[in-house]
Chains A and B, each alone.
Chain A
Amino acid sequence: MAESHAKVQKAGGGRFCCICNEKRAALKRPKTLEQICRECFYTVFEEEIHQVIMENQLFKPGERIAIGASGGKDSTVLACVLSELNRRHNYGLDLFLLSVDEGITGYRDDSLETVKRNEIQYGLPLKIVSYKDLYGWTMDEIVKIIGLKNNCTFCGVFRRQALDRGAALLKVDKLATGHNADDIAETVLLNILRGDIARLSRCTAITTGEDGPIPRCKPFKYTYEKEIVMYAYFKRLDYFSTECIYSPNAYRGFAREFIKDLERIRPRAILDIIKSGESFRIATSTKMPEQGTCERCGYISSQKWCKACVLLEGLNRGLPKLGIGRTRVSGKDQKKDIKQSSGMKSIASKQCGSLDF
């Protein structure tokens, strides 16, 4: 398929960009395999994101929007593109950068330096919230206690809440994250593989948490990871590309590799997976967890206490295994829970989204 496509391009447009037909083609667009020049790439890349924003009405004029900025390629490109589109199309948005400092020496401290440079480069105010301030623990300290297993559970649960708290401090209306099409396709597959029908039904939504305190949206929902890298590369954007030292490369690796294989055979597959995810019809009789609020901190939670409070409680009481695994925690039978949860390690290690391989 890919070959035949390429042939058509060669026969039709020669070595010239098949969009403007003036300049020499500089690259093959990962999404469509069209051979185009650099300028046309910037244009279609930005224009597609603009279309997604308009069609899905992601933003309203006058809104304050926080961009979840990790310093990595996705969020850096998101900050760059959003500030450009905001200017070009008069969205009328107040943009902010919001970073979470997990307290990981040798990783987050370096990437935060990148975000601080981005603050100046794009002229966007930056807010950093740290685990230390919010929870009294850094990831370095947590890992020292619980080791390298399950640490992603803590980090993931804490980050979700930290972003919401940071967004509340900035008084923003919405949070934009840099999740790209590959990420979403992968999540769809993982939810099928894990049997998580509740998440499967909502993981393709472009805006989530509209009933919660701060809605989140994914302007890159249909943007390919390769194109984001390409954009960052050609624009020589300043981003940080080291992996987290506590999450070795196996993280989510297996499904990811499968997606990359699919993309090689048929680039459209990524969009098709998202399309499938959007058009799945979930039977109404399927049980969905009810949403409530945490009795302790008031954050959204389907249980009595939110996950972050449960994990934090465990850390503070010196029982770090508390809340890991599929056991429910209530004050009295905690000891029993610990016993059970230590026997359920294999399940828990899947919680950060990796399929144990």
Chain B
Amino acid sequence: MACNGSSCQSNCYRDEDEPSAKSDDVRSTAAAAAVNGSGAVCVKCKVNEPIAGAAAADGRFCAECFRSNLFAKFRHAVTSNAMISPADNVLVAFSGGHASRVALQFVHDMQYKAQKNFDASRDLDRSLPVFGVGVAFIDESTVSPILSSEMDRVHGDIKLIVSQLSPPNKELHIFPVESVYSEGSRDSRDRLKELLDRVSDTTGKEDLLAHLRMLSLQKIASDNGYNRIVLGSCTSRIASHVLSATVKGQGYSLPADIQYVDARWGVPLVFPLRDCLAQELRVLCRLDGLKTAELPNGPCSSINSLVSSFVALLQEENPSRECTIVRTAGKLTPFHFNRIPEINDCNVPLATRRRQKRSNLKLNGSISSESFCAICYSPLNKSDLPALGSLETQKSASDVFGAACCSSCQFQILPRDASDMEHFYSLLPEALVSRAKQTNKYDFSSLREQIQDYLLSDSETDP
């Protein structure tokens, strides 16, 4: 706000009849702004009029400064965590919403700039290639009540959005979520539907679908040679996740999900919009006319939606609440996989490696964990793990699988009844089951099978 009091000694502009003020053109712009709006100027450049109609948090910047401020947060996250290096091939997970739309736009801007630099250095050395970008959209129409016409429209919108973001060209991968099942199985749609129907808890169903979505993204990325997945999770989204994970009793594994990098998966996930608020991203989409392709969201009575509306209410009351929540949770100890694995390849420029070393230093106190939940793939607390001895050899595969899940998944996703559990297990995607077998030490029975012939008696050899 401009000060009107005559005693004001600050840097802002007073009434027109003050000739000693700065350059004239600046003054006239400011005056024009004052005539148009309420007389306020952008707090950063002090020239342009702040964005009209934006809520309190953003109402201080002009469109230009707002945009560059947001992009700076993105770029800072990318560079200080070594998220994208020139040799990379990144896959942007695009849901059609505001956040991932902005992520896509920013990644494109970066790539475009890198391409321009590359072209300019045509005759000189070309040591820095331009990173590749692909876009993935997971179609969940199988499991949500969306009209096929609606879905077709969304597909069309997404194709249009991606085709407009070139050059450089970006490949678009549209996959139905049931593609998590291996290609051989024809009835994957029905299997997926039945699997989700077996989950009685609303929240559990939502979460299982989210885990399958992640599995699909991983599949697309590894099948198509991508080595990073960019997610558009913003501060608001992460703040909601902090609370909902707390409410679900996942306090131990929570820090794994809310860092800039999550490399526990085959293809590491990166979160460059971790410091941007959902509201800011919405404003940017509106300002720049970024087209989104959002699907209607029906009313929902899950824990996740209850938490989201709670956080939204808190944010309304205090515009820094979401940041505070994420900052608090950020003080929890992260895991060893919450950084991009060190590159020891001499082909990678030294500067990149050095930068990465620096950014990785702060994770010194991280926890290393070897066991992961068979469903949500969250790291398991050692004290929650079943004792190896309790997993008897004669237990069925589904029991062993169930024992390898975190208590939250056991409660909200797995069926309680043993025969139901067996059926549920048979409906799971093969990728999920095999991942659980590979990554966990729970598969004690298979180890035992291998040495079975040499064991003398059960009772003595049980550890």
Min CB gap A284→B, angstroms = 5
- Answer whether residue A188 sits at the interface, using C-beta atoms and an 8 A cutoff: yes
In the complex where A258-B310, A266-B203, A286-B331 touch, is A193 in contact with B365 (Cβ < 8 A)? no
**CB <8 Å contact, A283 and B333:** yes
Residues of A within 8 A of B306 (CB): 258, 261-262, 265
Stretch among A130-138, A223-231, A272-280 lining the B interface: A272-280
Min CB gap B336→A, angstroms = 13
3 nearest interchain CB pairs? Answer: A276-B251, A272-B249, A279-B252
Interface bracket on A = 35 or more
Give Cα A192–Cα B303 distance, bound, in whole angstroms: 18
Stretch among A21-29, A97-105, A194-202, A297-305 lining the B interface: A194-202
Q: Which B residues form the contact surface with A (CB < 8 A)?
A: 200-203, 242-243, 245-252, 254-255, 301-303, 306, 310, 314, 317, 321, 324-325, 327-329, 331-333, 365, 367, 381, 408, 411-412
Residues of B within 8 A of A286 (CB): 331
**CB <8 Å contact, A275 and B333:** no
**CB <8 Å contact, B243 and A195:** no
Residues of A within 8 A of B412 (CB): 1
**CB <8 Å contact, B251 and A277:** yes
Give Cα A194–Cα B318 distance, bound, in whole angstroms: 11
Q: Which of A261, A272, A273, A283 contacts B332 (CB 8 A)?
A: A283
Residues of B within 8 A of A128 (CB): none
Min CB gap A203→B, angstroms = 12
- Answer whether residue A143 sits at the interface, using C-beta atoms and an 8 A cutoff: no
Q: Which of B254, B303, B327 contacts A266 (CB 8 A)?
A: B303
- Answer whether residue A126 sits at the interface, using C-beta atoms and an 8 A cutoff: no
**CB <8 Å contact, B303 and A4:** no
**CB <8 Å contact, B200 and A4:** yes
**CB <8 Å contact, B408 and A192:** no
**Majority secondary structure, A binding face:** helix
Min CB gap B419→A, angstroms = 15
Residues of B within 8 A of A356 (CB): 317
**CB <8 Å contact, A265 and B303:** yes
**CB <8 Å contact, A282 and B367:** no
Residues of B within 8 A of A234 (CB): none
Residues of B within 8 A of A195 (CB): 324-325, 327-328
**CB <8 Å contact, A193 and B325:** yes
In the complex where A265-B303, A284-B365 touch, is A189 in contact with B243 (Cβ < 8 A)? yes
Q: Which of A1, A262, A357 contacts B247 (CB 8 A)?
A: A262
**CB <8 Å contact, B252 and A281:** yes
Give Cα A262–Cα B246 distance, bound, in whole angstroms: 12
**CB <8 Å contact, B328 and A200:** yes
Q: Smallest CB-CB separation from A262: which chain B residue? A: B247
Can you give 12 A-B contacts (C-beta < 8 A)?
Answer: A188-B246, A189-B243, A193-B314, A196-B328, A200-B328, A258-B306, A265-B306, A268-B249, A276-B250, A276-B252, A276-B254, A280-B332
**CB <8 Å contact, A192 and B243:** yes
- Answer whether residue A269 sits at the interface, using C-beta atoms and an 8 A cutoff: yes
Residues of B within 8 A of A277 (CB): 246, 251
Min CB gap B303→A, angstroms = 6
Give Cα A191–Cα B328 distance, bound, in whole angstroms: 9
1/0 contact trace for A172-199 toward B, CB 8 Å?
0000000000000000110111111100
Contacts A192-B328, A193-B321 known; list 18 others, CB within 8 Å.
A193-B328, A195-B324, A195-B328, A261-B306, A265-B203, A265-B301, A269-B247, A273-B246, A276-B246, A276-B249, A277-B246, A279-B251, A279-B381, A280-B251, A280-B332, A281-B255, A282-B333, A283-B365
Residues of A within 8 A of B249 (CB): 268, 271-273, 275-276
Give Cα A269–Cα B335 distance, bound, in whole angstroms: 25
Min CB gap A267→B, angstroms = 11
